[in-house]
Amino acid sequence: MLAEIITIGDEILIGQIVDTNSAWMAAQLNNIGVRIKQISSVSDDRDHILTALKEAANRADIILITGGLGPTKDDITKKTLAEYFNVGLIENKEALENVERIFRRIRGTLTELLDVNKQQALVPENCEVILNDNGTAPGMWFNQDGKIYMSMPGVPHEMMYMMQEKVIPKLKASFNLPAIIHKTILTVGEGESYLAQRIADIEDSLPPFIKLAYLPKLGQVRLRLSGYGDDEVFLRQKVEEFSARIVERVANVVAAEEDISIEKAILNYMSDRGLTLSVAESCTGGYISHLITQHAGSSKVFFGGAVSYSYELKESILGVKEETLTKFGAVSEETATEMVEGALKNFKSDFALAVTGIAGPDGGTPEKPVGTVWIAVASVNKTVVKKLTFGNKRRENIERTAISALNMLNTLLHNSAE
């Protein structure tokens, strides 16, 4: 079963907003055995929308559309759908009552609706209305010539609720969908090509109904096994069998056997063992702390730390010696070592990490160019310090530093357990 996603709105094409809807929808569809054929973004233009709908119908069985359902003149999706199906617009009683309910909830009482608000209840006469519990624009389900079209609001929380609560169950009831089983292995610290070489024979032995994908990102590679078929129990068994073979082969770089981030894998590992963590950040400016604390339950592990840009804070909070900073500078092995050991001592955690470097785009010297970073991780028994050199892009340097520091911490954690 193939699907196509069409997002409508000039704001997407000019980069004013990022189309996160499509990625989220694709993941939900994949989970129920619907494969995505294509994702398209089109402007608020009648001809463009009509062409996209016609082309999608030639490629896919299910066409999901988001955007262009607001009350203003630039929202033309509904009228264009009516034209595409060669039908008129009619007022839907349930949709109008929903509009009234939304305004009553917002205002506490129902005042007279503007005509533009009432028009939200106008829908193509051949659609099945899917009520929007979080907004005034209804969803519209069309079953035409063996194809399913589903038009939804572009507001993410409205679309997500409608998909989860109404559209996904309706799709599952409408089609005999195949099983898709995914298994993700998170690896850190080894490149895609090296991993591929190490598991080449396992990959060659995969049956045709299981595919292996390499998903690299900043010092990490996700290995995703995907099984496709009708027998879910058999698929799961075979995917787990090949996953176990891969994990055994590359065990030294495996951080998690599920689709999670490196910091979440670390939090899970440390939480399970009652371990605690603190940080000392300079060039990352709190980014590592953000990555950690975005996850629920992080307080079980994460004590906190210091964002210490200045010499004064490195000295007063972390205990870095004045002579160390004077002699070696803030970006040095010696300073990184004293930062991480100071965090460990002063914040009284089991493990700590520290980063100091030159994120850029200025501030570099011939001896220490932009992108020079020192990372230190430590436990009570061991301190590991490493120098890395990245490029001259500030944001990229901050992200790479954070992931590299987390990778080093992950390695120290597992080595300490041996």
Of the two residues 89 and 414, the one the predictor is more confident about is 89
Query: What is the residue whose two structure tokens read 């929007």?
Result: 132
Instruction: For the chain, state the CA radius of gyration.
Output: 27
On the question of pLDDT at 237 being above 90, the answer is yes
What pLDDT score was predicted for residue 98? 86
Tell me the C-alpha to C-alpha distance, in Å, between residue 375 and each of 178, 329, 345, 378, 385: 47, 15, 17, 10, 6
Assign 82 a pLDDT band (cuts: 50, 70, 90).
very high
DSSP secondary structure string, 226-241? EEEES-HHHHHHHHHH
The per-residue pLDDT for range 52-66, each reduced to its tens digit, is 999 999 999 999 999
What pLDDT score was predicted for residue 141? 98
Percentage of the chain with pLDDT > 90?
A: 83
Distance between CA atoms of residues 336 and 356, nearest Å: 6
- The domain made up of 262-417 has a fold known as Maf protein (3.90.950)
Distance between CA atoms of residues 398 and 394, nearest Å: 6
Assign 116 a pLDDT band (cuts: 50, 70, 90).
confident
Assign 70 a pLDDT band (cuts: 50, 70, 90).
confident
Which of 3.40.50.620, 3.40.190.10, 3.30.420.40, 3.30.70.2860 is the CATH number of 179-256?
A: 3.30.70.2860
Assign 120 a pLDDT band (cuts: 50, 70, 90).
confident
Q: In the sheet that 179-188 helps form, which strands lie side by side, from edge to edge?
A: 210-217, 220-229, 179-188, 254-256
Distance between CA atoms of residues 120 and 220, nearest Å: 46
CA-wise closest residue to 302 among 403, 409, 399:
409
Assign 111 a pLDDT band (cuts: 50, 70, 90).
low
| Angle at which helices 46-59 and 77-85 cross, to 10° | 60
Region 270-299 average pLDDT: 97
Collapse the DSSP code of 326 into the 3-class scheme (helix H, G, I; strand E, B; otherwise coil) and give the result.
Answer: helix
Collapse the DSSP code of 272 into the 3-class scheme (helix H, G, I; strand E, B; otherwise coil) and give the result.
Answer: helix
Tokens representing 233?
Answer: 């129990």
Write the CB contacts of 212 (distance below 8 Å, at least 6 apart in sequence). 203, 206, 223, 224, 225, 226
Range from 30-34, 98-102, 257-261 carrying the lowest mean pLDDT: 98-102
Contact 305, 280 (CB under 8 A): yes
Region 30-34 average pLDDT: 90
The per-residue pLDDT for range 150-163, each reduced to its tens digit, is 999 999 999 999 99
Domains of the chain, by residue range, sit at 2-174, 179-256, 262-417
Tokens representing 190?
Answer: 């080894």
What pLDDT score was predicted for residue 109? 65
**Other residues' Cβ atoms within 10 Å of the Cβ of residue 79:** 15
Region 297-309 average pLDDT: 97
Assign 202 a pLDDT band (cuts: 50, 70, 90).
very high
What pLDDT score was predicted for residue 21? 94
Assign 178 a pLDDT band (cuts: 50, 70, 90).
confident
Write the CB contacts of 88 (distance below 8 Å, at least 6 apart in sequence). 82, 124, 125
Region 223-243 average pLDDT: 95
What pLDDT score was predicted for residue 373? 98
On the question of pLDDT at 179 being above 90, the answer is no
Contact 242, 236 (CB under 8 A): no
2-174 in CATH: which number?
Answer: 3.40.980.10
